[in-house]
């Protein structure tokens, strides 16, 4: 039997076990989330970061899980969106406040691709969220006074894979939008929009160069203008295992048609907290420190968990920023 065929058959045989899912429970709309404290590794230092908290989130709510994007929506509060079109609003561990779990759009049969939110950006001043839907290659906008999101065409994403499209997105302080695709080898398609998505294509096109086998899953901006990028690698065999890294890059170094590179800061290997992390948010503290929050996507699998991590650091802990000449975006 050809070696390639043998590998394919073996993977097909293992797939039902690798991606074993929990039996579907009865429908439940509970608005409660249990936050269980997890032990921290012996060494809590990850590069320039200090791991200060780890929690496992569970809920009886039928829509809970699969969280693929994370933003800091208010002081002491986080908002996450799932690959089934569900929004989770919750207080940070130790903070008081209500939890809200609700679909953001009407259900359309069982079509996950119709509501697969993989990336989110937030404007705290207006309370507006922008979402990127991987399965449809469109954007959605949720204003503070909107009950349902509005759909925005995304010519910038035309041709991106429906399974490996827009995976990481953030709104930069100057109003530009940075978007990275999951698909690709070492080079991942990137777009830099001069303003909020509006259905018109004025974006820079560039390629983000990631470490071997790693793919971008989220991005968040730091106060000095640079961004942290969360990366994920899928590791076989059964059950699936994941590697995660945080890297640092400067949007001022992006050039139309060029390659954009990052500097590795930390790996989560050996922490005992390895998971499928897909959401990243940055929160400034009153004492000048910063906190990076990460959330994992459990894929609805019995072998995976929804974890929330908190890392603390200061800008002075990071490599010094290099002076860059910013290129003016089209439009």
CA distances to 84, 114, 119, 279, 293 from 135, in Å: 11, 6, 12, 18, 26
Give the HSE-up count for residue 319: Cα atoms under 13 Å, Cβ half-sphere.
15
- Per-residue pLDDT at 239: 79
Phi, psi of 79 (to 5 degrees): -130, 130
- Express each pLDDT in 25-66 by its tens digit: 678 999 999 999 999 999 999 999 999 999 999 999 999 999
- Per-residue pLDDT at 237: 59
Asked whether residue 14 carries a pLDDT value surpassing 70, the answer given is: no
Phi, psi of 41 (to 5 degrees): -65, 160
Among 1.10.3470, 2.60.40, 1.10.150, 2.115.10, name the CATH number for the domain at 47-317.
Answer: 2.115.10
CA distances to 32, 101, 110, 166 from 29, in Å: 9, 8, 18, 29
| Residue 8 pLDDT level (bands cut at 50, 70, 90) | very low
Q: How far is CA 3 from the centre of its chain?
A: 36
Asked whether residue 9 carries a pLDDT value surpassing 70, the answer given is: no
- Per-residue pLDDT at 47: 97
- Per-residue pLDDT at 11: 47
Mean pLDDT computed over 9-20: 45
Domain ranges of the chain: 47-317
| Residue 324 pLDDT level (bands cut at 50, 70, 90) | low
- Express each pLDDT in 207-236 by its tens digit: 999 999 999 999 999 999 999 999 999 987
**Which residues lie below 8 Å from residue 2, measured CB to CB, with a gap of 6+?**
none
b/e code 295-320 from CB counts within 10 Å (16+ = b): bbbbbbbebbbbbbbbbbbeeeebee
**Max Cα–Cα distance, the chain, nearest Å:** 64
- Express each pLDDT in 271-323 by its tens digit: 999 999 999 999 999 999 999 999 999 998 889 999 999 999 999 999 998 86
Cα distance between residue 219 and residue 53, in whole Å: 20
- Express each pLDDT in 136-184 by its tens digit: 899 999 998 877 899 999 999 999 988 889 999 999 999 999 999 999 8
Q: CA torsion angle for 110, 112, 114, 116 (degrees, to 10)?
A: 150
Q: What share of the chain is helix, strand, coil (3-state, %, to 5)?
A: 10, 45, 50
Mean pLDDT computed over 255-282: 97
Q: Which residue has the higher pLDDT, 15 or 119?
A: 119
Tokens coding 189: 């398609």
- Per-residue pLDDT at 264: 98
DSSP letter, residue 165: S
Mean pLDDT computed over 78-99: 96
CA distances to 100, 172, 268, 273 from 121, in Å: 19, 9, 25, 26
């Amino acid at each position: 039997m050809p070696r390639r065929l043998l590998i394919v058959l073996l993977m097909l045989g293992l797939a039902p076990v690798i991606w074993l899912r929990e039996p579907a429970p009865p429908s439940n709309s509970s608005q409660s989330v249990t936050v269980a404290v997890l032990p921290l590794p012996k060494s809590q230092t990850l590069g320039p970061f200090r791991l200060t908290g780890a929690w496992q989130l569970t809920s009886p709510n039928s829509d809970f899980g699969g969280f693929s994007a994370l933003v800091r929506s208010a002081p002491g509060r986080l908002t996450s969106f799932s690959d089934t079109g569900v929004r989770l609003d919750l207080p940070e561990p130790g903070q008081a406040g209500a939890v809200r779990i609700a679909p953001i759009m009407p259900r359309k049969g069982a079509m996950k691709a119709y509501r697969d939110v993989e990336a989110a950006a937030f404007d705290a001043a207006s309370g507006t969220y922008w979402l990127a839907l991987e399965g449809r290659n469109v954007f959605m906008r949720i204003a503070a006074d909107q009950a349902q999101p509005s759909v925005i065409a995304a010519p910038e994403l035309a041709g991106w894979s429906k399974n490996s499209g827009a995976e990481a997105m953030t709104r930069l302080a100057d109003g530009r939008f940075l978007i990275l695709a999951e698909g690709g080898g070492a080079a991942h398609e990137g777009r830099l929009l001069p303003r909020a998505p509006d259905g018109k294509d004025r974006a820079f096109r560039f390629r983000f160069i990631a470490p071997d086998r790693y793919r971008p899953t989220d991005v968040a901006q730091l106060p000095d203008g640079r961004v942290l990028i969360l990366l994920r690698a899928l590791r076989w065999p059964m059950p699936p295992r994941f590697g995660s890294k945080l890297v640092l890059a400067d949007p001022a170094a992006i050039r139309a048609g060029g390659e954009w590179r990052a500097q590795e800061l930390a790996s989560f290997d050996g922490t005992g907290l390895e998971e499928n992390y897909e959401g990243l948010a940055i929160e400034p503290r009153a004492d000048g420190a910063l906190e990076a929050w990460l959330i994992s996507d459990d894929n609805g699998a019995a072998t995976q968990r929804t974890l929330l991590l908190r890392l603390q650091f200061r800008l002075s802990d990071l490599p010094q920023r290099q002076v860059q000449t910013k290129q003016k975006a089209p439009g």
